[in-house]
Structure 1
Amino acid sequence: MSFLPQRCARKLLREPFQRRSLPLFLTPAFSPSRVQCFSSTSPAQSRVGGAAISVPPEVSLNLIDAPKDVTQSRGKEIIKLIAQIKGPKGELMLNIPSFLNVEHDATTQKTTLSISDPDNPHQRAMWGTIRAHLQNHIIGVSEGHICILSMVGVGYRATIETSATTVAPTYPGQKFVSLKVGFSHPIELGIPEGIEASTPQPTRILLEGVEKQKVTQFAAQIREWRRPEPYKGKGIFVNGETIKLKAKKIK
């Protein structure tokens, strides 16, 4: 690799930037033809948002006008439409921002989403998010969502109780999950409304519900009481979760 002589380098630095001339061996590196873009695709493309959603025959999807109290939403989103999804498992509602267009084809049972301004970063970000929420709602009212929690550890077990001593019920007929995960007292958690919990085995907890966010959020709350640790592999695992074991530190 060749370098500029010290005398030439000092002379080049003393000259104004506009008058400086690059040596011949550096000219190809700074030529305009070498300026390249990192991506040549259009910013409007979204792999998740642009995909069509299949609606089962037993599910009905309707768009209704939003009430005045929810028309103005937070930040950059203005809610004008609400998607009403009905199925054999239940009914769910989803707020649709004003910049997002929902088109449902009754003949093919396909639903597509599009945005009004593809150059807006916020609209592109919410495009795939709203589409994922809509698909989760359609699956929830037709099939339901399931979370399976596995308890690994000596003496770890769970039961479903109709009453609790440390937690007060928040709605009539609420049940509670009682955990024995190594503490001196049992952990009691109230099951949220709309979620069904069962224990097919003493070390298994099955959560079922229509809304995916509620099911996974309650599973995360249970997991927080005994998160999987990497040395003995003990803890509460959600949906086939695995953890890489570490070697013990020997002094």
Structure 2
Amino acid sequence: MFTTARRRCLQTASSCASSSLPSPVIRPSRIAFDTAAARAFSTSTPCRSKIGRQPLFLPPEVQFEITQPPKSKKVKISVRDEAGVTVTVKGPLGELSYTVPSFVRITRETPTSPPSVSVLDANERCQREMWGTVRSYLHNMVLGVSEGHTAILRLVGVGYRASIEDSATTVQTEYPGQKFVNLKVNYSHPVEVGVPLGVKASTPQPTRILLEGPDKEAVMSCAAEIRSWREPEPYKGKGIFVNDETIKLKSKKIK
């Protein structure tokens, strides 16, 4: 630290030196450029979707078909209202279809080459967000019809049990041959959950529920519905856990 007298001398010398130098001419355009460069987070080019740029690799037993939408004579309002192409994926475990947004393009260089996903304008945020999302949907479809998706539910708690029944008393049947998951999770009334179409449910153990199906969305939706009856609680660690789900235990509240 400088003393008061030395600090005063340094301030006087610096003010005299600055007054003797000619003042630089600052142009408004230069100020605007420096301000914009300072505000920018990075000067490099923005990175496009890493997931969307990856091609879709198809197993030899999977068929990938692209159907163009029917042409309508109505006046086009916007790109969002237009119908996109419909992708149909067929495999040994089933058949799935998905209609992509109109601004998404799916191309194949040759009939045997892997399809690639692109968008019309990658600078728009909505198109950039859907770029990787559509590619993930298609990848899950290819994986579902070839290998299938699974979800394992673990029932943790005293007396928690599950079984698969052919009929239910509290839930109506949605389609012929529907199965129902009967849960015993300390409720005074029976808890029955209908298995959606295309999903197979089994209980390898009384405290385990195995859900299988080609559609990942249907499998995980059914798992979420079953989990909602007993969500894991943080004090005793009891509840219904999906796959590798864990929970951090808390200490008891002592008043």
What is the TM-score when the length of structure 2 is the normalising length?
Answer: 0.80
Give the Å deviation of 1:180. 0.3
What amino acid maps onto 1:174 in structure 2?
A: Q
1:52 aligns with 2:52: no
* Partner Cα separation in structure 1 for residue 206 and residue 244 of structure 2: 17
Q: What residue ranges of structure 1 are gaps of 5+ in the alignment?
A: 1-20, 22-29
Give the Å deviation of 1:246. 0.3
Q: Secondary structure at the match of 2:201?
A: strand
Residue aligning to 1:118: 122
Using a 3 Å threshold, how does the CA distance of structure 1 residues 238 and 103 change in structure 2: closer, same or farther?
same
The question of whether the paired residues in 1 share the 8 Å contact of 2:163 and 2:182 is answered with yes
Using a 3 Å threshold, how does the CA distance of structure 1 residues 238 and 107 change in structure 2: closer, same or farther?
same
RMSD: 2.7
Residue aligning to 1:100: 104
1:216 aligns with 2:202: no
Residue aligning to 1:143: 147
The question of whether the paired residues in 2 share the 8 Å contact of 1:136 and 1:212 is answered with yes
Residue aligning to 2:237: 233
What amino acid maps onto 1:94 in structure 2?
A: Y
String of CA shifts for 1:117-170, please: whole Å, max 9, x gaps.
121111111101111100000000000100000000000010000011111101
Runs of 4+ displaced beyond 4 Å:
71-75, 105-109
User: Which of these two proteins has the greater Rg computed from alpha carbons?
Assistant: 2
- State how many pairs are aligned: 223
| Aligned with residue 180 of structure 2, among 167, 176, 180 | 176
Give the Å deviation of 1:185. 2.1
String of CA shifts for 1:30-82, please: whole Å, max 9, x gaps.
9927625213343461111112221111111111123569x999992522311
What is the TM-score when the length of structure 1 is the normalising length?
Answer: 0.81
The question of whether the paired residues in 1 share the 8 Å contact of 2:108 and 2:116 is answered with yes
Residue aligning to 2:38: 35
Using a 3 Å threshold, how does the CA distance of structure 1 residues 63 and 121 change in structure 2: closer, same or farther?
same
Q: How does 1:47-86 map to 2 (within 5 A)?
A: 47-67=50-70, 76=80, 78-86=82-90
Q: What residue ranges of structure 2 are gaps of 5+ in the alignment?
A: 1-22, 24-31
Using a 3 Å threshold, how does the CA distance of structure 1 residues 203 and 114 change in structure 2: closer, same or farther?
same
